[in-house]
């Protein structure tokens, strides 16, 4: 199946009150697990490569080409998305390689510079048929707008969207990145307030910190793209650790990575069903 444009997928999900799972890949096996999980759930999915993952591999091309090849051979629509790019050159590389979606993260820039750069990124990406997610940030620091105490103002969000023309907007409603426990307290009324003012799909970063019941509520209030990375790393690594501890003589990487890939695929499928239509309405 050709690579999917996220815009109709997110628009349909938003109209139906569903969420779309967006999961990060660092390893080839992560991408395989995400695609396998989406195929099992018979749902579209977003596979994300972050600027951090690019740094880890020393370049975008190898991880990108592998991920794009997997996406193209999937039996469900797959969006390949560049996550948290602060480097505009990296955005251009992703567009050249055939990504269908990018996130430009200018949240560390001064507000006017963030808006201007985001506008340039939108012009370039739209000219190439690529969707853009962005984040508005008046507050810097390590976690930017996703620090737990930070909140997006609905009116500000609307102005940013009008100013920049982005296709999706990351908002701060109580989550933060890389939470190992699912204990985040999400401001559900704020989600509703932003969704009421903004026609563009909203993106929840740091969703690893959000429990199942809250994820469903967040989606019901109008959040659409649900970014999950750390939670799936936990599932993957727990399985690797168990295999290695169970057999100290184990040498073949496939013997401990394959079960981890399977465990992650099962969790991806479960999460997609959780975010999608009520499980009873999902075809087996
Ligand atoms: Zn994020």
156 Cβ partners below 8 Å, 6+ apart?
136, 138
Q: What is the pLDDT of residue 137?
A: 60
Split at pLDDT 50, 70, 90, the class of 9 is: very high
Q: What is the pLDDT of residue 102?
A: 98
Distance from Cα 42 to the centre of ligand 1, integer Å: 25
The response to whether 105 counts as a known ligand-binding position is yes
| 54 or 177, greater pLDDT | 54
- Report the top-level CATH class of 6-275: alpha beta
Residue 142 has pLDDT above 90, yes or no: no
Q: By CB neighbour count within 10 A (0-12 exposed, 13-18 middle, 19+ buried), where does 129 fall?
A: exposed
Closest CA to 108 of 145, 53, 83: 145
Split at pLDDT 50, 70, 90, the class of 143 is: low
- For residues 18-35, average pLDDT: 98
Distance from Cα 103 to the centre of ligand 1, integer Å: 9
Residue 63 has pLDDT above 80, yes or no: yes
The catalytic residues are 83
- When the pLDDT of each residue in the chain is averaged and rounded to a whole number, the result is 92
How far is Cα 198 from Cα 187, in angstroms, rounded to an integer?
17
The response to whether 135 counts as a known ligand-binding position is yes
Distance from Cα 280 to the centre of ligand 1, integer Å: 31
């Amino acid at each position: 199946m050709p690579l999917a444009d996220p815009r109709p997928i997110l628009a349909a999900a938003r109209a139906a009150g569903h969420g779309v799972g967006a999961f990060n890949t660092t390893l080839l096996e992560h991408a395989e697990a995400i695609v396998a999980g989406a195929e099992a759930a018979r749902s579209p999915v977003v596979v994300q490569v972050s600027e951090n993952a690019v740094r880890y591999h020393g370049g975008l091309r190898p991880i990108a080409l592998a991920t794009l090849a997997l996406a193209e051979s999937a039996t469900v629509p797959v969006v390949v998305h560049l996550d948290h790019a602060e480097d505009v050159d990296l955005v251009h590389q992703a567009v050249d390689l055939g990504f269908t979606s990018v996130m430009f993260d200018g949240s560390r820039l001064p507000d006017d510079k963030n808006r201007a750069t985001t506008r340039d990124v939108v012009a370039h990406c739209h000219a190439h048929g690529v969707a853009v997610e962005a984040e508005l940030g008046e507050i810097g620091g390590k976690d930017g707008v996703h620090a737990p105490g930070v909140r997006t103002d609905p009116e500000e969000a609307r102005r940013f969207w009008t100013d920049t023309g982005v296709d999706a907007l990351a908002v701060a409603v109580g989550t933060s990145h890389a939470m190992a426990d699912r204990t985040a307290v999400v401001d559900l009324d704020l989600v509703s307030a932003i969704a009421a003012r903004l026609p563009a799909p909203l993106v929840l970063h740091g969703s690893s910190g959000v429990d199942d019941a809250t994820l469903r509520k967040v989606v019901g209030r109008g959040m659409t793209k649900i970014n999950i990375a750390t939670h799936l790393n936990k599932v993957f690594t727990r399985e690797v650790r168990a295999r290695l501890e169970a057999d100290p003589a184990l040498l073949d990487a496939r013997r401990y990575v394959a079960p981890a890939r399977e465990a992650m695929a099962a969790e991806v499928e479960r999460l997609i069903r959780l975010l999608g239509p009520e499980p009873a309405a999902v075809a087996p």
